A and B are shown apart, each in its own frame.
Chain A
Amino acid sequence: MSSAIHVEGVSKLYSTSDGGAAWALQGASLSLRRGEFLCAIGPSGCGKTTLLNVMAGFFEPTQGSVRVDDTPVTGPGPDRGVVFQEYALFPWLTARKNVEFGLSVQGVSSEERKRLSLEYLDLVGLARAADRYPHELSGGMRQRVAVARALVNKPDFLLMDEPFAAVDSLTRASLQHELVRMWKELGIGIFMITHNIEEAVYLAERVVIMTPHPGRIQEVVAVDLPYPRNRASNEFGLTYARVSEAFHGNVEQQVA
Protein backbone atom coordinates (compact mmCIF):
# COMPACT_ATOMS: atom_id res chain seq x y z
CA MET A 1 0.00 0.00 0.00
CA SER A 2 1.42 3.37 -1.01
CA SER A 3 1.45 6.26 1.41
CA ALA A 4 1.85 9.37 -0.78
CA ILE A 5 2.14 10.87 -4.28
CA HIS A 6 5.00 13.35 -4.42
CA VAL A 7 5.12 16.07 -7.08
CA GLU A 8 8.46 17.85 -7.09
CA GLY A 9 9.31 20.91 -9.17
CA VAL A 10 7.01 19.83 -11.98
CA SER A 11 6.80 21.97 -15.13
CA LYS A 12 5.03 21.25 -18.39
CA LEU A 13 5.56 22.93 -21.77
CA TYR A 14 2.91 22.74 -24.47
CA SER A 15 3.48 23.47 -28.14
CA THR A 16 1.11 26.16 -29.36
CA SER A 17 -0.60 26.27 -32.74
CA ASP A 18 1.62 29.17 -33.97
CA GLY A 19 4.70 26.97 -33.61
CA GLY A 20 5.76 28.35 -30.25
CA ALA A 21 5.56 26.88 -26.75
CA ALA A 22 3.82 27.88 -23.53
CA TRP A 23 4.20 26.83 -19.90
CA ALA A 24 1.04 25.07 -18.76
CA LEU A 25 2.54 24.57 -15.34
CA GLN A 26 5.76 25.74 -13.72
CA GLY A 27 7.63 24.59 -10.65
CA ALA A 28 4.75 22.88 -8.89
CA SER A 29 5.55 20.88 -5.74
CA LEU A 30 2.91 19.05 -3.74
CA SER A 31 2.39 15.88 -1.73
CA LEU A 32 -0.87 13.99 -1.50
CA ARG A 33 -0.80 11.62 1.43
CA ARG A 34 -3.07 8.65 1.93
CA GLY A 35 -6.06 9.66 4.04
CA GLU A 36 -5.76 13.31 3.01
CA PHE A 37 -8.26 15.45 1.04
CA LEU A 38 -6.84 18.16 -1.22
CA CYS A 39 -8.72 20.52 -3.50
CA ALA A 40 -7.02 22.53 -6.23
CA ILE A 41 -8.76 25.67 -7.32
CA GLY A 42 -7.94 28.30 -9.92
CA PRO A 43 -9.09 29.97 -13.14
CA SER A 44 -8.70 28.28 -16.52
CA GLY A 45 -5.11 28.16 -17.69
CA CYS A 46 -3.74 27.77 -14.15
CA GLY A 47 -2.48 24.26 -14.91
CA LYS A 48 -4.72 22.40 -12.47
CA THR A 49 -5.73 19.74 -14.99
CA THR A 50 -2.10 19.44 -16.13
CA LEU A 51 -1.12 18.82 -12.51
CA LEU A 52 -3.76 16.09 -12.21
CA ASN A 53 -2.72 14.53 -15.50
CA VAL A 54 0.94 14.19 -14.49
CA MET A 55 -0.13 12.72 -11.13
CA ALA A 56 -2.32 10.23 -12.98
CA GLY A 57 0.57 9.44 -15.35
CA PHE A 58 -1.27 10.42 -18.57
CA PHE A 59 1.84 12.29 -19.66
CA GLU A 60 5.31 13.04 -18.35
CA PRO A 61 6.31 16.46 -17.06
CA THR A 62 8.85 18.47 -19.07
CA GLN A 63 10.79 19.04 -15.85
CA GLY A 64 10.59 17.68 -12.34
CA SER A 65 9.43 14.34 -10.98
CA VAL A 66 6.28 12.56 -9.88
CA ARG A 67 6.66 9.62 -7.52
CA VAL A 68 4.40 7.27 -5.65
CA ASP A 69 6.45 6.78 -2.48
CA ASP A 70 9.88 6.05 -3.99
CA THR A 71 8.71 4.75 -7.38
CA PRO A 72 8.67 7.21 -10.30
CA VAL A 73 5.30 7.40 -12.09
CA THR A 74 5.71 6.15 -15.67
CA GLY A 75 2.05 5.81 -16.65
CA PRO A 76 -1.50 5.48 -15.36
CA GLY A 77 -2.29 2.67 -12.94
CA PRO A 78 -5.11 1.26 -10.86
CA ASP A 79 -3.44 2.51 -7.64
CA ARG A 80 -4.48 6.04 -8.72
CA GLY A 81 -8.16 6.09 -9.66
CA VAL A 82 -9.35 8.95 -11.87
CA VAL A 83 -12.81 10.51 -12.13
CA PHE A 84 -13.33 12.92 -15.04
CA GLN A 85 -15.73 15.80 -15.45
CA GLU A 86 -18.30 13.82 -17.46
CA TYR A 87 -18.78 11.48 -20.43
CA ALA A 88 -16.04 9.16 -19.23
CA LEU A 89 -18.27 6.14 -18.60
CA PHE A 90 -18.26 3.63 -21.44
CA PRO A 91 -21.68 4.07 -23.08
CA TRP A 92 -21.69 0.50 -24.45
CA LEU A 93 -21.54 -1.02 -20.96
CA THR A 94 -24.18 -1.05 -18.21
CA ALA A 95 -23.38 0.66 -14.90
CA ARG A 96 -22.34 -2.67 -13.40
CA LYS A 97 -20.15 -3.61 -16.39
CA ASN A 98 -18.52 -0.19 -16.23
CA VAL A 99 -17.65 -0.80 -12.59
CA GLU A 100 -16.40 -4.28 -13.47
CA PHE A 101 -14.14 -3.06 -16.28
CA GLY A 102 -11.03 -2.55 -14.15
CA LEU A 103 -11.48 -5.90 -12.40
CA SER A 104 -12.10 -7.62 -15.72
CA VAL A 105 -8.91 -6.37 -17.44
CA GLN A 106 -6.99 -7.46 -14.36
CA GLY A 107 -8.39 -10.99 -14.63
CA VAL A 108 -10.70 -11.10 -11.59
CA SER A 109 -13.19 -13.99 -11.81
CA SER A 110 -16.73 -13.17 -12.89
CA GLU A 111 -18.44 -14.07 -9.58
CA GLU A 112 -15.94 -11.93 -7.68
CA ARG A 113 -16.46 -9.10 -10.20
CA LYS A 114 -20.20 -9.25 -9.76
CA ARG A 115 -19.97 -9.27 -5.98
CA LEU A 116 -17.52 -6.35 -5.84
CA SER A 117 -19.30 -4.25 -8.46
CA LEU A 118 -22.60 -4.53 -6.62
CA GLU A 119 -20.85 -3.77 -3.33
CA TYR A 120 -19.36 -0.55 -4.72
CA LEU A 121 -22.51 0.47 -6.57
CA ASP A 122 -24.22 0.07 -3.23
CA LEU A 123 -21.54 2.23 -1.62
CA VAL A 124 -22.43 5.08 -3.99
CA GLY A 125 -26.14 4.36 -3.52
CA LEU A 126 -26.82 3.01 -7.02
CA ALA A 127 -27.27 -0.75 -6.65
CA ARG A 128 -30.79 -0.41 -8.12
CA ALA A 129 -29.41 1.08 -11.36
CA ALA A 130 -26.80 -1.66 -11.92
CA ASP A 131 -28.24 -2.86 -15.22
CA ARG A 132 -28.91 0.54 -16.75
CA TYR A 133 -26.81 2.09 -19.49
CA PRO A 134 -25.12 5.47 -18.93
CA HIS A 135 -27.54 7.22 -21.30
CA GLU A 136 -30.38 6.11 -19.02
CA LEU A 137 -28.78 7.74 -15.97
CA SER A 138 -28.86 11.36 -14.81
CA GLY A 139 -25.63 13.38 -14.64
CA GLY A 140 -25.35 12.87 -10.89
CA MET A 141 -25.93 9.12 -11.17
CA ARG A 142 -23.28 8.85 -13.89
CA GLN A 143 -20.71 10.50 -11.65
CA ARG A 144 -21.63 8.12 -8.83
CA VAL A 145 -20.97 5.20 -11.18
CA ALA A 146 -17.68 6.80 -12.25
CA VAL A 147 -16.65 7.06 -8.59
CA ALA A 148 -17.61 3.41 -7.98
CA ARG A 149 -15.66 2.37 -11.11
CA ALA A 150 -12.52 4.05 -9.75
CA LEU A 151 -12.99 2.86 -6.15
CA VAL A 152 -13.66 -0.81 -6.93
CA ASN A 153 -9.97 -1.14 -7.88
CA LYS A 154 -9.17 -0.25 -4.25
CA PRO A 155 -6.89 2.64 -5.22
CA ASP A 156 -4.71 4.40 -2.67
CA PHE A 157 -5.52 7.72 -4.29
CA LEU A 158 -8.47 9.20 -6.12
CA LEU A 159 -7.84 12.03 -8.60
CA MET A 160 -10.97 13.95 -9.57
CA ASP A 161 -11.13 16.53 -12.37
CA GLU A 162 -14.11 18.81 -11.65
CA PRO A 163 -16.31 15.74 -11.12
CA PHE A 164 -19.43 17.64 -10.07
CA ALA A 165 -19.14 20.63 -12.41
CA ALA A 166 -21.90 19.43 -14.74
CA VAL A 167 -24.28 18.44 -11.93
CA ASP A 168 -27.08 20.66 -10.56
CA SER A 169 -26.33 22.34 -7.23
CA LEU A 170 -28.75 20.31 -5.07
CA THR A 171 -27.34 17.03 -6.38
CA ARG A 172 -23.83 18.41 -6.03
CA ALA A 173 -24.36 19.10 -2.33
CA SER A 174 -25.43 15.52 -1.67
CA LEU A 175 -22.57 14.12 -3.79
CA GLN A 176 -20.11 16.21 -1.76
CA HIS A 177 -21.61 14.95 1.49
CA GLU A 178 -21.32 11.33 0.34
CA LEU A 179 -17.80 11.81 -0.98
CA VAL A 180 -16.69 12.91 2.50
CA ARG A 181 -18.36 9.84 3.98
CA MET A 182 -16.62 7.48 1.52
CA TRP A 183 -13.27 9.20 1.97
CA LYS A 184 -13.51 8.75 5.76
CA GLU A 185 -14.63 5.16 5.35
CA LEU A 186 -11.94 4.12 2.85
CA GLY A 187 -9.04 6.19 4.15
CA ILE A 188 -7.76 7.04 0.66
CA GLY A 189 -6.06 10.24 -0.47
CA ILE A 190 -8.20 12.48 -2.68
CA PHE A 191 -7.01 15.23 -5.01
CA MET A 192 -9.90 17.09 -6.52
CA ILE A 193 -9.98 19.97 -8.99
CA THR A 194 -12.80 22.43 -8.66
CA HIS A 195 -13.65 25.95 -9.73
CA ASN A 196 -15.97 26.40 -6.80
CA ILE A 197 -14.54 27.95 -3.61
CA GLU A 198 -17.43 26.72 -1.50
CA GLU A 199 -16.89 23.17 -2.71
CA ALA A 200 -13.18 23.37 -1.89
CA VAL A 201 -13.84 24.71 1.62
CA TYR A 202 -16.56 22.11 2.27
CA LEU A 203 -14.37 19.18 1.20
CA ALA A 204 -10.66 19.84 1.59
CA GLU A 205 -8.22 19.68 4.45
CA ARG A 206 -5.91 21.79 2.32
CA VAL A 207 -6.88 24.05 -0.57
CA VAL A 208 -4.27 24.46 -3.31
CA ILE A 209 -4.66 27.90 -4.88
CA MET A 210 -3.35 28.14 -8.44
CA THR A 211 -2.79 31.08 -10.80
CA PRO A 212 -2.39 31.28 -14.58
CA HIS A 213 0.24 32.64 -17.05
CA PRO A 214 2.26 30.64 -16.34
CA GLY A 215 0.24 28.05 -14.39
CA ARG A 216 1.65 27.60 -10.90
CA ILE A 217 0.72 26.90 -7.30
CA GLN A 218 0.39 30.20 -5.46
CA GLU A 219 -0.29 28.95 -1.96
CA VAL A 220 -1.78 26.15 0.05
CA VAL A 221 -4.42 27.10 2.62
CA ALA A 222 -5.18 24.68 5.48
CA VAL A 223 -8.86 24.32 6.41
CA ASP A 224 -9.10 23.36 10.06
CA LEU A 225 -12.77 22.55 10.32
CA PRO A 226 -14.22 19.26 11.61
CA TYR A 227 -16.25 16.99 9.28
CA PRO A 228 -19.05 16.96 8.33
CA ARG A 229 -18.79 20.69 7.76
CA ASN A 230 -21.64 23.06 8.26
CA ARG A 231 -21.97 25.60 5.46
CA ALA A 232 -24.07 27.85 7.71
CA SER A 233 -21.46 28.10 10.48
CA ASN A 234 -19.41 31.20 11.18
CA GLU A 235 -16.13 29.30 10.85
CA PHE A 236 -17.13 28.12 7.39
CA GLY A 237 -17.84 31.70 6.35
CA LEU A 238 -14.51 32.89 7.70
CA THR A 239 -12.56 30.17 5.90
CA TYR A 240 -14.49 30.87 2.70
CA ALA A 241 -13.51 34.53 3.01
CA ARG A 242 -9.86 33.61 3.57
CA VAL A 243 -9.65 31.37 0.50
CA SER A 244 -11.63 33.84 -1.55
CA GLU A 245 -9.25 36.60 -0.51
CA ALA A 246 -6.15 34.59 -1.41
CA PHE A 247 -7.79 33.86 -4.72
CA HIS A 248 -9.09 37.30 -5.58
CA GLY A 249 -6.14 39.19 -4.14
CA ASN A 250 -4.19 37.36 -6.76
CA VAL A 251 -6.63 38.28 -9.52
CA GLU A 252 -6.29 41.95 -8.58
CA GLN A 253 -2.51 41.56 -8.69
CA GLN A 254 -2.88 40.22 -12.21
CA VAL A 255 -4.96 43.17 -13.31
CA ALA A 256 -2.67 45.71 -11.66
Chain B
Amino acid sequence: MERVLQAVPDQAASDAIKSDFIARVRKQRFSDKCRQIALNVLGVIIFLVLWELSPYLVPGLDDLLFPPPSDVVVIVRDMILSGELLKHTYVSVLRAIAGFIAGSVLGVLLGVLMGRLESLNHLLDPVLQAFRSIPAIAFVPLAIIWFGLGEASKVFLIAFGAFFPVWINTMVGVKSIPVIYARSAASLGARPDQIMFRVVLPAATPFIIAGLRLATAVALVVLVAAELVGASSGLGYLISYSHLVFRVDIMFVGLITLGVLGFLTDRLFLLVMSRLFPWYGIESGR
Protein backbone atom coordinates (compact mmCIF):
# COMPACT_ATOMS: atom_id res chain seq x y z
CA MET B 1 0.00 0.00 0.00
CA GLU B 2 1.42 3.37 -0.94
CA ARG B 3 1.31 6.05 1.76
CA VAL B 4 1.96 9.70 1.17
CA LEU B 5 2.64 11.72 4.33
CA GLN B 6 2.40 15.49 4.26
CA ALA B 7 4.65 17.78 6.29
CA VAL B 8 3.38 18.96 9.69
CA PRO B 9 2.71 22.73 9.54
CA ASP B 10 5.11 25.02 11.41
CA GLN B 11 3.52 25.83 14.78
CA ALA B 12 5.01 29.30 15.34
CA ALA B 13 4.17 30.49 11.84
CA SER B 14 0.57 29.27 12.01
CA ASP B 15 0.17 30.83 15.47
CA ALA B 16 1.29 34.18 14.09
CA ILE B 17 -1.14 33.94 11.18
CA LYS B 18 -3.90 32.96 13.60
CA SER B 19 -3.40 35.90 15.98
CA ASP B 20 -3.21 38.25 13.03
CA PHE B 21 -6.48 36.79 11.75
CA ILE B 22 -8.18 37.20 15.15
CA ALA B 23 -7.02 40.83 15.35
CA ARG B 24 -8.42 41.56 11.91
CA VAL B 25 -11.77 39.90 12.68
CA ARG B 26 -12.00 41.90 15.92
CA LYS B 27 -11.25 45.13 14.11
CA GLN B 28 -13.82 44.31 11.44
CA ARG B 29 -16.49 43.52 14.07
CA PHE B 30 -15.72 46.74 15.93
CA SER B 31 -16.03 48.88 12.81
CA ASP B 32 -19.25 47.04 11.82
CA LYS B 33 -20.67 47.83 15.25
CA CYS B 34 -19.63 51.50 15.01
CA ARG B 35 -21.20 51.72 11.58
CA GLN B 36 -24.43 50.21 12.86
CA ILE B 37 -24.65 52.65 15.78
CA ALA B 38 -23.82 55.59 13.50
CA LEU B 39 -26.63 54.59 11.12
CA ASN B 40 -29.05 54.13 14.06
CA VAL B 41 -28.27 57.63 15.30
CA LEU B 42 -28.41 59.07 11.79
CA GLY B 43 -31.89 57.57 11.29
CA VAL B 44 -33.15 59.24 14.45
CA ILE B 45 -31.57 62.57 13.45
CA ILE B 46 -33.13 62.46 9.95
CA PHE B 47 -36.50 61.73 11.54
CA LEU B 48 -36.17 64.68 13.95
CA VAL B 49 -34.98 67.06 11.22
CA LEU B 50 -37.87 66.14 8.92
CA TRP B 51 -40.27 66.59 11.82
CA GLU B 52 -38.74 69.97 12.70
CA LEU B 53 -38.91 71.13 9.08
CA SER B 54 -42.39 69.76 8.42
CA PRO B 55 -44.16 73.16 8.86
CA TYR B 56 -41.96 74.47 6.02
CA LEU B 57 -42.35 71.35 3.91
CA VAL B 58 -46.09 70.90 4.28
CA PRO B 59 -48.05 74.10 3.65
CA GLY B 60 -50.78 74.92 6.15
CA LEU B 61 -49.44 72.69 8.96
CA ASP B 62 -50.36 74.22 12.30
CA ASP B 63 -47.77 74.43 15.13
CA LEU B 64 -50.50 73.78 17.67
CA LEU B 65 -51.71 70.59 15.98
CA PHE B 66 -48.26 69.37 15.04
CA PRO B 67 -45.69 70.81 17.45
CA PRO B 68 -42.08 70.49 16.23
CA PRO B 69 -39.49 68.64 18.37
CA SER B 70 -37.94 71.93 19.51
CA ASP B 71 -41.27 72.79 21.22
CA VAL B 72 -41.77 69.28 22.59
CA VAL B 73 -38.27 69.26 24.10
CA VAL B 74 -39.08 72.40 26.06
CA ILE B 75 -42.27 70.84 27.43
CA VAL B 76 -40.44 67.63 28.27
CA ARG B 77 -37.82 69.63 30.16
CA ASP B 78 -40.45 71.58 32.09
CA MET B 79 -42.39 68.44 32.94
CA ILE B 80 -39.25 66.62 34.08
CA LEU B 81 -38.20 69.57 36.24
CA SER B 82 -41.65 69.88 37.82
CA GLY B 83 -41.59 66.12 38.49
CA GLU B 84 -44.87 65.70 36.67
CA LEU B 85 -43.62 63.37 33.94
CA LEU B 86 -41.82 61.13 36.42
CA LYS B 87 -44.92 60.95 38.60
CA HIS B 88 -47.20 59.84 35.76
CA THR B 89 -44.64 57.39 34.40
CA TYR B 90 -44.00 55.92 37.84
CA VAL B 91 -47.72 55.39 38.51
CA SER B 92 -48.22 53.74 35.11
CA VAL B 93 -45.19 51.48 35.43
CA LEU B 94 -46.25 50.30 38.89
CA ARG B 95 -49.73 49.43 37.60
CA ALA B 96 -48.32 47.60 34.58
CA ILE B 97 -45.87 45.58 36.70
CA ALA B 98 -48.49 44.62 39.32
CA GLY B 99 -51.01 43.52 36.69
CA PHE B 100 -48.37 41.76 34.60
CA ILE B 101 -47.07 39.75 37.54
CA ALA B 102 -50.54 38.76 38.75
CA GLY B 103 -51.68 37.74 35.27
CA SER B 104 -48.55 35.83 34.31
CA VAL B 105 -48.19 33.92 37.58
CA LEU B 106 -51.75 32.70 37.19
CA GLY B 107 -51.15 32.03 33.50
CA VAL B 108 -48.04 29.87 34.08
CA LEU B 109 -49.71 27.98 36.93
CA LEU B 110 -52.92 27.18 35.05
CA GLY B 111 -50.99 26.52 31.83
CA VAL B 112 -48.74 23.90 33.46
CA LEU B 113 -51.60 22.22 35.34
CA MET B 114 -53.93 22.16 32.34
CA GLY B 115 -51.14 20.99 30.05
CA ARG B 116 -50.39 18.03 32.32
CA LEU B 117 -53.83 17.13 33.70
CA GLU B 118 -56.19 16.24 30.90
CA SER B 119 -59.38 16.27 33.01
CA LEU B 120 -58.63 19.75 34.32
CA ASN B 121 -58.02 20.87 30.75
CA HIS B 122 -61.37 19.52 29.56
CA LEU B 123 -63.09 21.12 32.56
CA LEU B 124 -61.69 24.64 32.22
CA ASP B 125 -60.92 25.00 28.55
CA PRO B 126 -64.35 26.05 27.14
CA VAL B 127 -64.91 28.84 29.69
CA LEU B 128 -61.36 30.19 29.45
CA GLN B 129 -61.42 30.10 25.66
CA ALA B 130 -64.67 32.07 25.69
CA PHE B 131 -63.16 34.73 27.94
CA ARG B 132 -60.03 34.79 25.81
CA SER B 133 -62.01 35.91 22.78
CA ILE B 134 -63.28 39.04 24.58
CA PRO B 135 -60.77 41.91 24.22
CA ALA B 136 -59.62 43.05 27.67
CA ILE B 137 -60.42 46.65 26.69
CA ALA B 138 -64.11 45.74 26.50
CA PHE B 139 -64.00 45.14 30.25
CA VAL B 140 -62.85 48.70 31.07
CA PRO B 141 -66.32 50.09 31.91
CA LEU B 142 -67.21 46.99 33.92
CA ALA B 143 -63.95 47.14 35.87
CA ILE B 144 -64.62 50.78 36.75
CA ILE B 145 -68.11 49.92 38.00
CA TRP B 146 -66.79 46.99 40.04
CA PHE B 147 -63.50 48.35 41.33
CA GLY B 148 -63.89 52.13 40.99
CA LEU B 149 -61.39 54.59 39.55
CA GLY B 150 -58.51 53.49 41.82
CA GLU B 151 -55.62 51.12 41.31
CA ALA B 152 -57.65 47.91 41.63
CA SER B 153 -59.50 48.35 38.35
CA LYS B 154 -56.27 48.99 36.39
CA VAL B 155 -54.39 46.09 37.93
CA PHE B 156 -57.37 43.80 37.33
CA LEU B 157 -57.64 44.77 33.67
CA ILE B 158 -53.90 44.42 32.99
CA ALA B 159 -53.81 41.07 34.79
CA PHE B 160 -56.79 39.92 32.73
CA GLY B 161 -55.10 40.95 29.48
CA ALA B 162 -51.67 39.54 30.41
CA PHE B 163 -53.09 36.21 31.62
CA PHE B 164 -54.24 34.80 28.27
CA PRO B 165 -51.07 34.89 26.16
CA VAL B 166 -49.08 33.43 29.07
CA TRP B 167 -51.66 30.73 29.77
CA ILE B 168 -52.03 29.64 26.13
CA ASN B 169 -48.29 29.60 25.45
CA THR B 170 -47.48 27.72 28.64
CA MET B 171 -50.11 25.11 27.87
CA VAL B 172 -48.92 24.62 24.29
CA GLY B 173 -45.33 24.45 25.54
CA VAL B 174 -46.10 21.86 28.20
CA LYS B 175 -48.00 19.71 25.71
CA SER B 176 -45.23 19.84 23.12
CA ILE B 177 -42.46 18.58 25.41
CA PRO B 178 -40.82 15.45 23.95
CA VAL B 179 -42.01 12.36 25.81
CA ILE B 180 -38.40 11.23 26.30
CA TYR B 181 -37.75 14.10 28.74
CA ALA B 182 -40.28 12.74 31.20
CA ARG B 183 -39.16 9.16 30.50
CA SER B 184 -35.50 10.04 31.07
CA ALA B 185 -36.38 11.75 34.34
CA ALA B 186 -38.53 8.83 35.51
CA SER B 187 -35.83 6.29 34.71
CA LEU B 188 -33.38 8.45 36.67
CA GLY B 189 -35.65 8.10 39.69
CA ALA B 190 -37.73 11.32 39.57
CA ARG B 191 -41.22 11.32 41.12
CA PRO B 192 -44.20 12.86 39.22
CA ASP B 193 -44.01 16.13 41.19
CA GLN B 194 -40.27 16.35 40.53
CA ILE B 195 -40.93 15.75 36.83
CA MET B 196 -43.52 18.55 36.85
CA PHE B 197 -41.27 21.21 38.41
CA ARG B 198 -37.79 20.10 37.39
CA VAL B 199 -38.48 18.87 33.86
CA VAL B 200 -41.83 20.03 32.46
CA LEU B 201 -41.59 23.62 33.68
CA PRO B 202 -38.02 24.28 32.46
CA ALA B 203 -38.66 22.39 29.21
CA ALA B 204 -41.61 24.70 28.51
CA THR B 205 -39.70 27.93 29.28
CA PRO B 206 -39.08 28.93 25.65
CA PHE B 207 -42.86 28.93 25.16
CA ILE B 208 -43.48 30.62 28.50
CA ILE B 209 -40.97 33.35 27.64
CA ALA B 210 -42.70 33.96 24.29
CA GLY B 211 -46.01 34.24 26.17
CA LEU B 212 -44.54 36.64 28.73
CA ARG B 213 -43.13 38.83 25.98
CA LEU B 214 -46.54 39.04 24.32
CA ALA B 215 -48.04 39.80 27.72
CA THR B 216 -45.75 42.83 28.25
CA ALA B 217 -47.10 44.34 25.03
CA VAL B 218 -50.71 43.55 25.98
CA ALA B 219 -50.14 45.01 29.45
CA LEU B 220 -49.12 48.35 27.95
CA VAL B 221 -52.16 48.47 25.65
CA VAL B 222 -54.61 47.67 28.44
CA LEU B 223 -52.87 50.07 30.81
CA VAL B 224 -53.34 53.02 28.47
CA ALA B 225 -56.91 52.05 27.64
CA ALA B 226 -57.80 51.88 31.32
CA GLU B 227 -56.06 55.17 32.13
CA LEU B 228 -57.61 57.03 29.22
CA VAL B 229 -61.10 56.46 30.57
CA GLY B 230 -61.03 56.54 34.32
CA ALA B 231 -57.88 57.71 36.06
CA SER B 232 -56.45 60.75 37.83
CA SER B 233 -52.80 59.93 37.09
CA GLY B 234 -50.65 57.93 34.71
CA LEU B 235 -49.53 58.37 31.12
CA GLY B 236 -52.97 57.47 29.71
CA TYR B 237 -54.48 60.10 31.97
CA LEU B 238 -51.85 62.63 30.80
CA ILE B 239 -52.87 62.04 27.18
CA SER B 240 -56.57 62.20 27.97
CA TYR B 241 -56.06 65.39 30.03
CA SER B 242 -54.04 67.10 27.29
CA HIS B 243 -56.93 66.36 24.96
CA LEU B 244 -59.34 68.17 27.29
CA VAL B 245 -57.14 71.25 27.55
CA PHE B 246 -56.17 71.01 23.86
CA ARG B 247 -52.42 70.72 24.43
CA VAL B 248 -51.14 68.56 21.60
CA ASP B 249 -47.54 69.17 22.74
CA ILE B 250 -48.28 67.54 26.12
CA MET B 251 -50.04 64.75 24.26
CA PHE B 252 -46.84 64.20 22.26
CA VAL B 253 -44.87 63.94 25.50
CA GLY B 254 -47.22 61.19 26.67
CA LEU B 255 -46.96 59.32 23.37
CA ILE B 256 -43.17 59.56 23.24
CA THR B 257 -42.86 58.36 26.82
CA LEU B 258 -45.04 55.35 26.02
CA GLY B 259 -42.90 54.57 22.99
CA VAL B 260 -39.68 54.76 25.00
CA LEU B 261 -41.25 52.71 27.79
CA GLY B 262 -42.40 49.96 25.42
CA PHE B 263 -39.02 49.80 23.72
CA LEU B 264 -37.09 49.69 26.99
CA THR B 265 -39.43 47.05 28.43
CA ASP B 266 -38.80 44.73 25.51
CA ARG B 267 -35.03 45.25 25.65
CA LEU B 268 -34.92 44.79 29.42
CA PHE B 269 -37.07 41.68 29.06
CA LEU B 270 -34.67 40.10 26.56
CA LEU B 271 -31.68 41.03 28.71
CA VAL B 272 -33.17 39.50 31.87
CA MET B 273 -34.24 36.36 30.01
CA SER B 274 -30.84 35.78 28.42
CA ARG B 275 -29.27 36.13 31.87
CA LEU B 276 -31.77 33.77 33.51
CA PHE B 277 -31.78 31.19 30.72
CA PRO B 278 -28.35 31.15 29.09
CA TRP B 279 -29.16 27.85 27.37
CA TYR B 280 -32.03 29.41 25.47
CA GLY B 281 -30.80 31.39 22.47
CA ILE B 282 -33.18 34.31 22.40
CA GLU B 283 -33.48 36.18 19.16
CA SER B 284 -33.26 39.85 20.03
CA GLY B 285 -35.03 40.70 16.80
CA ARG B 286 -32.22 42.96 15.66
Contact = CB atoms under 8 A, between A and B. Distances in A.
Contacts of A80: 187
Contact of B178 (A75, A87, A133): A87
Contacts of B186: 58, 75-76
Interface string B78-96: 0000000000000000000
B188 A88 contact: no
Contacts of A133: 278-279
B275 to A, nearest CB: 14
B188 A101 contact: yes
Interface string B107-122: 0000000000000000
A82 B181 contact: no
Interface stretch (B63-71, B123-131, B199-207): B199-207
Nearest to A161: B180
B184 A82 contact: yes
A75 B190 CA distance: 11
A105 B189 contact: yes
B191 interface: yes
B277 interface: yes
Contacts of A77: 187, 189
Give the interface residue-count category, chain B.
20 to 34
B194 interface: yes
B181 A90 contact: yes
B277 to A, nearest CB: 7
B156 to A, nearest CB: 33
A101 B187 contact: no
Contacts of B202: 90, 92
Interface in A67-126: 75-78, 80-82, 84, 87-88, 90-93, 101-102, 105-106
Nearest to A136: B279
Contacts of A84: 180, 183-184
Interface in B194-242: 194, 198-199, 202-203, 205
Contacts of B205: 92
Interface in A26-85: 56-58, 75-78, 80-82, 84
A149 interface: yes
A76 B183 contact: yes
A153 interface: yes
A87 B189 contact: no
Contact of A88 (B181, B189, B278): B181
A135 interface: yes
Interface of A: 56-58, 75-78, 80-82, 84, 87-88, 90-93, 101-102, 105-106, 133-135, 149-150, 153
18 contacts: A56-B183, A57-B187, A76-B187, A77-B189, A82-B187, A84-B180, A88-B184, A90-B181, A90-B199, A92-B279, A92-B280, A93-B279, A102-B190, A105-B191, A106-B189, A135-B279, A150-B188, A153-B189
Given A90-B181, A153-B188, 9 more contacts: A58-B183, A76-B186, A81-B188, A82-B187, A87-B180, A91-B280, A92-B277, A92-B279, A105-B185
